[in-house]
Structure 1
């Protein structure tokens, strides 16, 4: 059993999850989301994000050698757990309505403090990050997602090139994204710090399908300053089944 840091035990995680209420609704970006607890229901519920940190679906060692075990453990138990804890504090301090989905709070994050913006974004981004990776994954997308990539970018190779560029050229810390826009077209872009395309303050908007963390803590132990090597390795762990499911839900 993995040890969970920052005062959050596995028992507490499971307790929080079991007690959380499910609130589902359409938000400003057009996605159907739940504010907390286990996500159930039709395909669009796959886009829901809990307010609390969920256990990893795989071991810290599972993505090696592309992402090493120590990086995964520190990233999950220190960085991501810290965002979840600080988000809970911000929710209490700012009286955020947790009967509404997390995505709705992010869609109007400009009304909240920097603490809410940073930690709400950091929590959402990491919860997505763990889900779009898997052991024995990688390869290429198929089906409707593959067709949409070809339609939006001209080819899969061109999509990879644009995504790589977004990740490698994001100055300082941030994220690279594949999103579905309001026009139902796919687009690639990046955001600084822990911002994401759901936020009303973001210049790049859409429903996230795939996100890559390019903060140094995500790769420095294994890749040092070689961010391009880390970005290249990411393609070996992408869970295209999850990305395709998110695409189908966001396209409804």
Structure 2
């Protein structure tokens, strides 16, 4: 039951000029693919192979003996989620029920944008910034390395990858510029709303 790398939901140059085809080639074609290969090799011929990747991530999250499985599985899943969090038609502000929820829980879109940018830029070292639904409330959270909201019982709605390989070829050490550009031009609000409605 090997975990298959989902196809990119757009062409590798579709996010230009904000994220280059070169970055996508390395990020999706090398980094993401390697996590999936490593994960499949680690769970092959074990009871974990019969479980979904989400079940494996939760089952191995706090087991030091299975840290390699968790790291590769969580990174495989996080990246699959991240690609869908971006869209060449993304950016701007959400509408409808999700916009109302952001106003209620996060104090409006401007505060959401500020809080997500702060989470993404202040994550020390590698990691992720997320918009999640936590017990019915929208929150901004950040996770280190392969950390994922799945292990905290939270429902991810959007993700911003702040591992250096996500932005260094295009932005060098200017992580804040990458984060701002992603929020302004690439966040896939249709994907976020779909996740929100599915979790209600």
SS at match of 1:189: strand
Aligned equivalent of 1:115:
68
- Report the equivalent of 1:82: 34
Report what 1:224 is aligned to. 172
- Greater RCO, 1 or 2 (C-alpha within 8 Å, sep 6+): 2
Alignment of 1:52-71 (within 5 A): 52-71=4-23
- Superposition CA RMSD, Å: 1.5
Query: 1:24-51 CA deviation, whole Å, 9 max, x = no partner?
Result: xxxxxxxxxxxx8xxxxxxxxxxxxxx2
For residue 187 of structure 1, the aligned residue among 136, 139, 142 is 139
Aligned length: 197
Match 1:209 to one of 157, 168, 175: 157
TM-score (norm 1): 0.75
Residue deviations 1:128-185 (CA, integer Å, cap 9, x gap): 011111112211111111111111111111111111000000000000011011x210
Selected match of 2:124 from 171, 184, 188: 171
CA distance in 2, matches of 1:249, 1:167: 25
Post-superposition Cα deviations, 1:169-216, rounded to whole Å, max 9, x if no partner, equal 0000000011011x210110101001101125xxxx511111111000
Runs of 4+ in 1 over 4 A off after TM superposition: none
Distance 2:132 2:40 in 1: 27
| Counterpart check, 1:248 vs 2:200 | no
SS at match of 1:188: strand
C-alpha distance in structure 2 between counterparts of 1:91 and 1:246, whole Å = 28
Give the direction of change, closer, same or farther, for the CA distance of 1:159–1:73 in structure 2 (3 Å limit): same
1:68-119 Cα distance to aligned partner (Å, 9 max, x none): 1100111001000001101101211643042x33222222222461111110
TM-score (normalizing by structure 2): 0.93
Structure 1 residues 101, 157: closer, same or farther in 2, change over 3 A? same
Please state which structure has a larger fraction of its residues in helix. 2
* Structure 2 unpaired stretches of 5+: none
**Contiguous gaps of at least 5 residues in structure 1:** 1-19, 21-35, 37-50
Cα distance in 2 for partners of 1:169, 1:94 equals 38
